[in-house]
Structure 1
Amino acid sequence: MPRHPDEPDRVMPAEPAPEGAVHPPREDSRQPTTPLRPQTTNDETGSDAVGPAPAQDEHIAAMQELEDRWRRALADLDNLRKRHARELERERTVERSRTAAAFLPVLDNLELALSHADADSGAVVEGIRAVRDQAVNVLELLGYPRHAETGVTFDPARHEVVGVVDDPDVEPGTVVQVLRPGYGDGDRQLRPATVTVAKRE
């Protein structure tokens, strides 16, 4: 039948589709879809997809080797320190024994002099003087010579002044008397000589 121009279009009901037919999608229900990325296989990705790279393996091996060498060096250093301590203590023991053995004859002669003290006092004095000379010789052999010289110029490295005397017959600053001998020189000095010196003008 004829349609009035102002009358809106009427949608005719669609005929039902036969059973089993596929309905096309509606225009308003079509959504944009993201294309699927093709899956890659191990052959396409290479060796990066399977385990660490060879360079990383070499780096780890080098670090392990350095650590092993460091630990061995520490162990060697500790063993060297212990061996050095043992050798040093052994050398000290040997030197103490050698020094003590050098003084044994001095003690023997002192005992011999004391055993003759009642027989002759003059002989005892001579014997003690001989023992003193023997002990001085032992110290000199060990590297500590005796210094008891008078009439020499005062040396602050070798003398320790404990008194000053007024003696016009000697030069000022001259050693007049040695109260206690000194032993050794320079870095090997056991002690300086204790002296009195002439007064300076």
Structure 2
Amino acid sequence: MSSTPTTPPPDEPDEPDGELREAAESPPGPQPEASSEEDPAALAERLKAQVAELEDVGRRALADADNLRKRFEREADRERRRERARVAARWLPVLDNLERALQHAEADPGLILDGVRAVRDQAVEVLAELGYPRRDEVGVPFDPALHEAVSVMMDTDAIPGTVVRVLQPGYGDGEHQLRPALVSVAAKAGQ
């Protein structure tokens, strides 16, 4: 089979010629050509036709925008369902381990405590992997972005303004927070 070499198309000229230059310099959209010889009725008809054409273009643009909005909504809904399924799938091993712990609890009730702790640790790990680490530190300075103070305790051993007890752990950091930790805070002596 023989192949014939193809020649590339000639380069476009750098300078537009006559008609192209005029088209590039004129404003976009149909322009009425004012002619001293044109009949006013013919000019009016021509302008009406241009208005009708522009209205049609506008309607089509609105329809395209509406179709795009609907498509985006469908895709966003589909993506939300996918993400929910992905997160739910991460929790299935936790549920499986809870069921195993309950099955073994009947055989040896003492093992249930160890099993529940292991499942809790697994759930905490899943939350951390999803971007919501557990916050249950004691002895750290009180931070209103991470903690919610529910009580103040007189504790002479603790530095004032630090967390002395966590009543409910928090999960997450800053803007990515499921909930703040409910804590008791050390007060200064005499308060």
Q: Is this a same-fold pair by TM over 0.5?
A: yes
Which residue identity lines up with residue 67 of structure 1 in the other structure? E
Query: Aligned pair 1:173/2:161, yes or no?
Result: yes
CA shift for structure 1 position 184: 1.0
Aligned partner of 1:81 in structure 2 is: 69
Query: Aligned pair 1:153/2:141, yes or no?
Result: yes
Q: Deviations over 1:89-131 (max 9, x none)?
A: 1111111111111111101101111111133344221111110
SS of equivalent to 1:91? helix
Question: In 2 relative to 1, CA 47–100 (structure 1 residues): closer, same or farther, beyond 3 Å?
Answer: closer
Aligned partner of 2:81 in structure 1 is: 93
SS of equivalent to 1:168? coil
Query: Aligned pair 1:133/2:121, yes or no?
Result: yes
Where does 1:63-74 land on structure 2 (aligned, <5 Å)?
63-74=51-62
Where does 1:35-54 land on structure 2 (aligned, <5 Å)?
48=39, 52-53=41-42
Distance 1:84 1:115 in 2: 46
CA shift for structure 1 position 47: 6.6
Query: Aligned pair 1:61/2:49, yes or no?
Result: yes
Q: CA RMSD in A?
A: 1.7
Q: How many residues in Structure 1 have an aligned counterpart in Structure 2?
A: 153
Where does 1:183-198 land on structure 2 (aligned, <5 Å)?
183-198=171-186
Q: Percent of aligned pairs with the same residue?
A: 61
Bigger proportion of residues as strand: 2
Query: Aligned pair 1:115/2:115, yes or no?
Result: no
Question: In 2 relative to 1, CA 47–184 (structure 1 residues): closer, same or farther, beyond 3 Å?
Answer: closer
Question: In 2 relative to 1, CA 78–153 (structure 1 residues): closer, same or farther, beyond 3 Å?
Answer: same
The gaps in structure 2 that reach 5 residues or longer are 1-36
When the two structures are superposed, what TM-score results if normalisation uses the length of structure 1?
0.71
Distance 2:85 2:53 in 1: 48
CA shift for structure 1 position 189: 0.6
CA shift for structure 1 position 62: 2.1
Query: Aligned pair 1:102/2:90, yes or no?
Result: yes
SS of equivalent to 1:117? helix
The gaps in structure 1 that reach 5 residues or longer are 1-45
CA shift for structure 1 position 59: 1.9
Q: Deviations over 1:146-181 (max 9, x none)?
A: 111111000011101111111111101110111111
Distance 1:196 1:80 in 2: 52
Aligned partner of 2:188 in structure 1 is: 200
When the two structures are superposed, what TM-score results if normalisation uses the length of structure 2?
0.75
Question: In 2 relative to 1, CA 106–151 (structure 1 residues): closer, same or farther, beyond 3 Å?
Answer: same
Query: Aligned pair 1:124/2:79, yes or no?
Result: no
Which residue identity lines up with residue 120 of structure 2 in the other structure? R
